[in-house]
């Protein structure tokens, strides 16, 4: 691992600050009688859970209940969001882009349909569809397939069965001043002892956003508008006391989505996500749950450059992704063991095309497959056992194995890739494996957790089979490499939590050592397809690469109603051959003060960043340090059994001009934004 002195100093400073705080509060520890942590130990101790605010749930304490899902995910210290505009941010887990993590919705695998990553699967859902995001670090996220960084599972919102028959619902409206975003929607929930159903609808429409103020510069970010419709339904039926059937559907459609950081926009991004689930409680002695789901989802993505006045060549670039899948999970307890086994599988088909229409009408159109109609078939088994060794010590062991097969279905696609790989066969099978263990020790007010894992992943469709995919950041056309080995990772996580009545401190560090790290490297002598590109890069493998993630958080409640939060995080990424890994978060911090009473809530926060360690090889520029101030206010009015919640606030209060390390192509972030959310609930 290669860390320069300056960065090491920063890490040490963070750790020193943490240990200083601990000794400061050691005195108070003796006085505390309640052990808050003892009840909170569950099977996944290293999991992080983000509550997604929406009009049906815990809306008062959220700043902006009608904000995007992206803005909720961004709150996790494990996640950064790559922004290519105001829409469809790409979640990076532990400093790694989406190829290296497993993204699921209620355990369902969904694959994006865009070769340029305009549509991470998080862009096909809405807050109203969801209740939680569960984040698992490293190999503990391998339940549904091979991963390096971990997993993000978005959990569907549902009312569930209730003893009393009850109909509830909400209607909401929001406005954001910066991009004139209008948000409208409604939810309807019915519950009874035998049956429940939840239906929701959300509509968003936004114009171009404005960056902060910078002299002699227009602050309108062209091509950053979007329109999104989302409708979802989930319903459950109780067959008897033990057995339940649930069906779920999400339909999401975005139109006229601008991507200021890319040379193209999107005229249509559409998803249909469906599932049927069967749950059997206590089927056998020692087995508490047997849950089985079958699912199907289909995504259509159509790129569009017709709104761009000047392009070197007009292009049509549609993409499609279809996935059939299932999982079946058994969970149970036996003496000191809590165990779980999951068998899962999917068949995905990914296809993407590019047609170029030359400006000269006498020249012929050019057609190619950028994803050559690839089928991916995966089946895997994962098991875990959580052993309570004694009241202080818990050991979690998990492991799994999967078979992963890629097949090129298109003759044209196969022949195109044979220009680079003459001996290429249409099929490739890989074995994926993972094993990990976590040890948790809690005593009095302390909880320590240590995790170690090993696992691997298959290359993504773009990495394995992509054909002339333009990356505007470094301005190279990327070509996939079907001969790549599996990328492997060894990761170590350590976290320490200290908790007394009024004070909580959490420090966490994890280290990923990756072998055969997949990354694009320039290849001379082959011209690019995109006229303006610098050249081509082929996916290759570095012998090794390392990423370190660190974070600390302090929460202090000195008086009733008041909470103060400070958190800081820092990442570092370095590969062999002097490769600085791209898109690695510099030192980030957030200071926050909250005042909350029963029906009233105020929140003031300041977040900022140091300058980034940019990777010139991947077209990154250095971004200046910044600090952004935000204010939020919520008030709840109760009228009989009905509630009206009014939320208002200002983001980027001082209209600061800033660019974050994860603003793709250096497009500036949003300037001052005043918002109002109105939620009526019955």
- What are the two backbone dihedrals, phi and then psi, of residue 222, each rounded to the nearest 5 degrees? -65, 150
Nearer to Cu ion, 114 or 548 (CB): 114
CB of 142 to Cu ion, least distance (A): 29
Nearer to Cu ion, 318 or 402 (CB): 318
Nearer to Cu ion, 170 or 462 (CB): 462
Nearer to Cu ion, 145 or 263 (CB): 263
Count of other CB atoms within 10 angstroms of residue 140: 27
Structure tokens at 298: 């289909």
Part in contact with Cu ion (CB under 5 A); list of ranges 20-28, 213-221, 303-311, 499-507: 303-311
- Distance, in Å, from the CA atom of 507 to the CA atom of 354, rounded to the nearest integer, reads 47
Part in contact with Cu ion (CB under 5 A); list of ranges 236-244, 299-307, 515-523, 652-660: 299-307
CB of 264 to Cu ion, least distance (A): 7
Asked if 500 touches Cu ion (CB under 5 A), the answer is no
Write the interaction track for Cu ion spanning residues 61-100; mark x where CB under 5 A is met and - where it is not.
----------------------------------------
CB of 319 to Cu ion, least distance (A): 7
Q: Which of 493, 345, 387, 452 is nearest to 48 (CA)?
A: 493
Part in contact with Cu ion (CB under 5 A); list of ranges 17-25, 301-309, 595-603, 612-620: 301-309
Part in contact with Cu ion (CB under 5 A); list of ranges 43-51, 114-122, 546-554, 555-563: 114-122
Q: Which residue is nearest to Cu ion (CB)?
A: 114
Asked if 114 touches Cu ion (CB under 5 A), the answer is yes
Asked if 113 touches Cu ion (CB under 5 A), the answer is no
Part in contact with Cu ion (CB under 5 A); list of ranges 68-76, 115-123, 180-188, 333-341: 115-123
Note whether 83 and 663 are within 8 A (CB).
yes
- In this structure, what DSSP letter does residue 89 have? P
Nearer to Cu ion, 118 or 507 (CB): 118
CB of 347 to Cu ion, least distance (A): 23
Part in contact with Cu ion (CB under 5 A); list of ranges 81-89, 248-256, 297-305, 407-415: 297-305
566 bridge partner residues: 554, 591
CB of 303 to Cu ion, least distance (A): 4
CB of 270 to Cu ion, least distance (A): 13
- Distance, in Å, from the CA atom of 182 to the CA atom of 180, rounded to the nearest integer, reads 6
Note whether 356 and 315 are within 8 A (CB).
yes
Count of other CB atoms within 10 angstroms of residue 540: 16
Note whether 342 and 314 are within 8 A (CB).
no
Nearer to Cu ion, 314 or 643 (CB): 314
Note whether 514 and 458 are within 8 A (CB).
no
Strands 48-51 and 535-556: unpaired
CB of 113 to Cu ion, least distance (A): 8
Asked if 252 touches Cu ion (CB under 5 A), the answer is no
Nearer to Cu ion, 468 or 512 (CB): 468
Asked if 116 touches Cu ion (CB under 5 A), the answer is yes
Q: Which of 123, 72, 79, 394 is nearest to 250 (CA)?
A: 123
Part in contact with Cu ion (CB under 5 A); list of ranges 110-118, 369-377, 482-490, 544-552: 110-118
| CA dihedral over 70, 72, 78, 80, signed as positive or negative | positive
Cα 245 to Cα 160, 164, 326, 570: the distances in Å are: 12, 20, 15, 44
Among 50, 88, 303, 408, binds Cu ion (CB under 5 A): 303
Q: In the chain, how many H helices and how many E strands?
A: 4, 34
Nearer to Cu ion, 60 or 469 (CB): 469
Nearer to Cu ion, 96 or 315 (CB): 315
CB of 71 to Cu ion, least distance (A): 22
Q: Which of 618, 613, 627, 605 is nearest to 661 (CA)?
A: 613
CB of 619 to Cu ion, least distance (A): 19
Nearer to Cu ion, 84 or 156 (CB): 84
Helices (H), 393-504: 411-417, 461-465
Part in contact with Cu ion (CB under 5 A); list of ranges 18-26, 111-119, 289-297, 478-486: 111-119
Note whether 655 and 673 are within 8 A (CB).
no
375 bridge partner residues: 349, 407
Nearer to Cu ion, 296 or 320 (CB): 320
Nearer to Cu ion, 302 or 507 (CB): 302
Nearer to Cu ion, 118 or 659 (CB): 118
| CA dihedral over 4, 7, 10, 16, signed as positive or negative | negative
Write the interaction track for Cu ion spanning residues 557-576; mark x where CB under 5 A is met and - where it is not.
--------------------
Note whether 119 and 125 are within 8 A (CB).
no
Note whether 631 and 603 are within 8 A (CB).
yes
Burial of residue 417 (CB within 10 Å: 0-12, 13-18, 19+) is buried
Q: Could you tell me how far CA 270 lies from the centroid of its own chain? A: 19
Part in contact with Cu ion (CB under 5 A); list of ranges 106-114, 191-199, 245-253, 342-350: 106-114
Nearer to Cu ion, 304 or 487 (CB): 304
137 bridge partner residues: 150
Nearer to Cu ion, 304 or 474 (CB): 304
Part in contact with Cu ion (CB under 5 A); list of ranges 47-55, 59-67, 172-180, 300-308: 300-308
Part in contact with Cu ion (CB under 5 A); list of ranges 295-303, 554-562, 625-633, 674-682: 295-303
Count interface residues toward Cu ion (CB under 5 A): 4
**How close are the terminal C-alpha atoms of the chain, in Å?**
57
Part in contact with Cu ion (CB under 5 A); list of ranges 177-185, 273-281, 296-304, 629-637: 296-304
Residues 179-218 that bind Cu ion (CB under 5 A): none
CB of 469 to Cu ion, least distance (A): 10
Among 86, 118, 354, 374, binds Cu ion (CB under 5 A): 118
Cα 527 to Cα 276, 363, 416, 476, 531: the distances in Å are: 48, 19, 15, 10, 9
Say which residues have a Cβ less than 8 Å from residue 247's Cβ, sequence separation at least 6: 234, 235, 274, 275, 276, 277
Nearer to Cu ion, 125 or 581 (CB): 125
CB of 370 to Cu ion, least distance (A): 10
Nearer to Cu ion, 263 or 451 (CB): 263
- Distance, in Å, from the CA atom of 34 to the CA atom of 64, rounded to the nearest integer, reads 33
CB of 57 to Cu ion, least distance (A): 32
Say which residues have a Cβ less than 8 Å from residue 281's Cβ, sequence separation at least 6: 241, 242, 243, 244, 288, 289
Residues 154-183 that bind Cu ion (CB under 5 A): none
Structure tokens at 146: 């091979």
56 bridge partner residues: none
- In this structure, what DSSP letter does residue 185 have? E
Binding site for Cu ion (CB under 5 A): 114, 116, 118, 303
């Amino acid at each position: 691992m290669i860390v320069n002195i300056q960065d090491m100093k920063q890490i040490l400073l963070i750790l020193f600050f943490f240990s200083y705080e601990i000794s400061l509060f050691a005195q108070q520890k003796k006085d505390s009688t309640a052990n808050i942590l003892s009840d909170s130990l569950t099977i996944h101790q290293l999991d992080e859970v983000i509550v997604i605010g929406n009009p049906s749930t815990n809306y008062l304490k959220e700043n902006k209940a009608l904000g995007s899902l992206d803005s909720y995910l961004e709150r996790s210290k494990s996640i950064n969001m790559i922004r290519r505009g105001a829409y469809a941010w790409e979640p990076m887990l532990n400093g790694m882009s989406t190829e290296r993590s497993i993204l699921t919705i209620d355990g369902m695998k969904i694959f994006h349909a865009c070769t340029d990553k305009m549509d991470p699967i998080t862009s096909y859902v809405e807050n109203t569809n969801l209740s939680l995001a569960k984040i698992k670090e490293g190999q503990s996220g391998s339940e549904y397939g091979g991963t390096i960084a971990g997993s993000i599972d978005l959990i569907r919102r549902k009312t569930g069965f209730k003893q009393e028959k009850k109909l509830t619902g909400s209607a909401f409206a929001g406005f954001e001043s910066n991009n004139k975003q209008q948000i409208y929607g409604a939810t309807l929930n019915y519950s009874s002892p035998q049956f429940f159903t939840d239906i929701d609808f959300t509509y968003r429409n936004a114009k171009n956003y404005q960056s902060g103020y910078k002299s002699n510069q227009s602050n309108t970010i062209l091509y950053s508008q979007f329109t999104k419709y989302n409708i979802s339904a989930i319903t459950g039926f109780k067959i008897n006391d033990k057995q339940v059937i649930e069906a779920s559907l999400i339909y999401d459609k975005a139109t006229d989505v601008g991507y200021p950081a890319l040379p193209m926009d999107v005229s249509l991004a559409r998803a249909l996500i469906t599932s049927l689930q069967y749950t059997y409680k206590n089927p056998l002695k020692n087995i508490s749950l047997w849950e089985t789901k079958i699912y199907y989802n289909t995504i259509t993505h159509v790129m569009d450059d017709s709104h761009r006045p000047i392009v070197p060549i007009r292009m049509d670039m549609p993409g499609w992704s279809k996935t059939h899948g299932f999982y079946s999970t058994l969970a149970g307890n036996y003496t000191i063991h809590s165990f779980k086994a999951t068998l899962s599988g999917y068949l995905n088909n990914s296809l993407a095309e590019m047609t170029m229409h030359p400006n000269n009408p006498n020249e012929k159109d050019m057609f190619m497959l950028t994803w050559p109609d690839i089928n991916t078939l995966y089946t895997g088994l994962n098991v875990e056992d959580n052993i309570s060794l004694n009241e202080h010590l818990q050991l979690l062991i998990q492991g799994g194995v999967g078979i992963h097969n890629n097949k090129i279905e298109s003759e044209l696609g196969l022949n195109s890739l044979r220009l680079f790989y003459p001996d290429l066969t249409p099929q490739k099978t890989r074995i994926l494996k993972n094993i990990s263990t976590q040890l948790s020790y809690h005593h009095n007010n302390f909880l320590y957790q240590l995790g170690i894992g090993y696992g691997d992943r298959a290359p993504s469709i773009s990495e394995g089979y992509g054909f002339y995919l333009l990356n505007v950041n470094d301005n190279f056309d990327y070509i996939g490499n079907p001969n790549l080995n599996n990328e492997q990772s060894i990761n170590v996580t350590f976290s320490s939590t200290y908790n007394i009545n009024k004070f909580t401190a959490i420090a966490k560090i994890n280290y990923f050592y990756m072998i055969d790290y997949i990354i694009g490297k320039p290849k001379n002598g082959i011209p690019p397809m995109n006229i303006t590109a610098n050249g081509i890069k082929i996916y290759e493998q570095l012998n090794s690469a390392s990423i370190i993630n660190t974070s600390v958080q302090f929460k202090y409640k000195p008086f009733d109603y008041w909470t103060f939060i400070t958190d800081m995080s820092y990442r570092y990424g370095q590969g062999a051959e002097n490769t600085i890994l791209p898109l690695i978060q510099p030192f980030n911090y957030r200071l926050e003060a909250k005042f909350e009473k029963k029906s009233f809530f105020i929140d003031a926060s300041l977040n900022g960043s140091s300058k980034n360690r940019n990777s010139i090889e991947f077209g990154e520029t250095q971004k200046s340090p910044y600090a952004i101030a935000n204010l939020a206010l919520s008030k709840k009015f109760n009228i009989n059994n009905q509630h009206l919640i009014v939320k208002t606030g200002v983001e980027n209060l001082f209209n600061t001009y800033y660019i974050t390390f994860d603003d793709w192509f250096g497009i500036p972030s949003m300037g001052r934004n005043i918002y109002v959310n109105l939620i009526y609930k019955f």
